[in-house]
Amino acid sequence: MLPTLADGDLVLALPLGQNSGDLLAGHIVVAEHPFKNGVRLIKRIEACEAGAYRLCGDNQEESTDSRGLGSFQAAQLLARVSARA
């Protein structure tokens, strides 16, 4: 997520629970990796259509995101990043 977030940055992420409907393009979220159990990704929502979220990293050349993984479902979105340290 460079330049917004760097490796080692601490973030405050608020759990979504049942309330993922409040997410908008531009929000940064914590998501479950769709193919690697226990791996979490921090990405920016690029778009949402019919409950499928397109997540992208700010560093497009290096990012593992929807361009290679496909869309994410609401159940895969765990939290919204609200601050960083």
- For 11-84, CATH number out of 1.10.510.10, 1.20.120.350, 2.10.109.10, 3.40.250.10 equals 2.10.109.10
Residue type, position 37, single letter:
N
The conformation of residue 67, written as its DSSP 8-state character, comes to H
Cut 0.85: pTM above it: yes
Whether the per-residue pLDDT at 19 is higher than 70: the answer is no
Q: Where are the domains of the chain?
A: 11-84
Pair 64, 57: CB distance under 8 Å? yes
CB neighbour class for 78 (10 Å; exposed up to 12, middle 13-18, buried from 19): middle
Residue type, 34: P
pLDDT bucket at 22, cuts 50 / 70 / 90: confident
pLDDT per residue as tens digits for the range 25-76: 999 999 999 999 999 999 999 999 988 999 999 999 999 999 999 999 999 9
